[in-house]
């Protein structure tokens, strides 16, 4: 699938309105195209911020000055991007008007990104696996929008087309950086199969990664803790930790397609 074919379908994919075959084609394209993946992430973030704007319409004090400065910066960046992609810039007034509208609708988000993240605190992969069945370590979230808001950073796209999400939340323990946890389920020959996926900024989830294996370009550390198998790798600025009771070959197959 080409970029020109994939981009018109991103909005439908975000709404869950694509058929399974078309969704698989778009997801395969996103896996291999950084530019379209950025467009996908931008689309998810934009929809998330629209929702937050509806829930939080009040304008924080001093926000207009922040918006003004950001408009100037984004105007310059946007003009450079369009020059590179189309060899001609858009009118500056059109760019300014576009970002003024977006800035008004995304007030809570602009206020949020001006607040620096606290220093990242690492978490052990073994501890995360051990706490998987512990009560009180997961703060539930209703959906991905609420989860991203609780985390303080944006989630990245992971391809798990055969799995259905049934629970998500924020892992908090021992003062570590907030870590996303999403629990998935799929139908197997012998019953339901379960998979948990942790996600955090790169460098937060740590393990003894002396023996890394190359799986479809990912440098993956495989391990086990009790009855669980797990895989840890970094990609697109994020750490991913997948935990399951499935066999090691089955876990490798999941990582290969993610």
Instruction: Give the architecture-level CATH label for domain 123-257.
Output: 3-Layer(aba) Sandwich (3.40)
Residue with tokens 């996908």: 40
Residues 77-86: what's their mean pLDDT?
57
Cβ(251)–Cβ(229) below 8 Å: yes
* Residue ranges of domains in the chain: 3-113, 123-257
pTM: 0.55
Residue 183 to residues 37, 132, 209, 231: CA-CA distances in angstroms? 23, 10, 24, 15
Compute the distance between CA of residue 68 and CA of residue 222 in angstroms, rounded to an integer.
Answer: 48
Range list of H helices, the chain: 3-15, 20-32, 34-55, 63-86, 92-105, 107-113, 125-130, 144-151, 248-257
Q: What would the pLDDT profile of 120-170 be if each residue is shown by its tens digit?
A: 678 888 888 888 877 677 888 888 888 888 888 888 878 888 899 888 899
Contacts of 63 (CB under 8 A, 6+ apart): 107, 110, 111
Neighbours of 107 (CB within 10 A): 21
- Percent of the chain clearing pLDDT 70 (strictly above): 72
> Where residue 119 falls among pLDDT bands split at 50, 70, 90?
low
């Amino acid at each position: 699938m080409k970029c020109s074919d994939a981009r018109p379908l991103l909005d439908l994919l975000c709404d869950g309105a694509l058929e399974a075959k078309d969704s698989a084609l778009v997801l395969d394209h996103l896996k291999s195209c950084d530019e379209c993946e950025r467009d996908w992430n931008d689309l998810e973030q934009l929809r998330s911020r629209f929702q937050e704007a509806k829930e939080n319409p009040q304008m924080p004090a001093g926000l207009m000055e922040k918006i003004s400065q950001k408009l100037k910066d984004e105007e310059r960046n946007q003009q450079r991007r369009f020059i590179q992609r189309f060899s001609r810039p858009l009118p500056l007034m059109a760019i300014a008007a576009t970002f003024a509208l977006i800035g008004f609708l995304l007030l809570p988000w602009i206020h949020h990104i001006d607040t620096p993240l606290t220093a990242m605190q690492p978490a052990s992969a073994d501890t995360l696996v051990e706490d998987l069945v512990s009560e009180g370590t997961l703060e539930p979230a209703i959906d991905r929008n609420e989860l991203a808001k609780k985390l303080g950073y944006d989630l990245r796209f992971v391809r798990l087309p055969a799995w259905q999400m049934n629970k998500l939340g924020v892992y908090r323990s021992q003062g570590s950086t907030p870590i996303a946890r999403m629990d998935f389920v799929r139908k197997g020959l012998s019953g339901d199969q379960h998979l948990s996926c942790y996600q955090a900024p790169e460098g937060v989830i740590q393990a003894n990664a002396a023996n890394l294996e190359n799986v479809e370009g990912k440098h993956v550390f495989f391990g086990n803790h009790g009855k669980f198998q797990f895989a840890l790798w970094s990609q697109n600025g994020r750490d991913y930790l997948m935990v399951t009771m499935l066999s090691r070959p089955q876990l490798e197959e999941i990582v290969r397609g993610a």
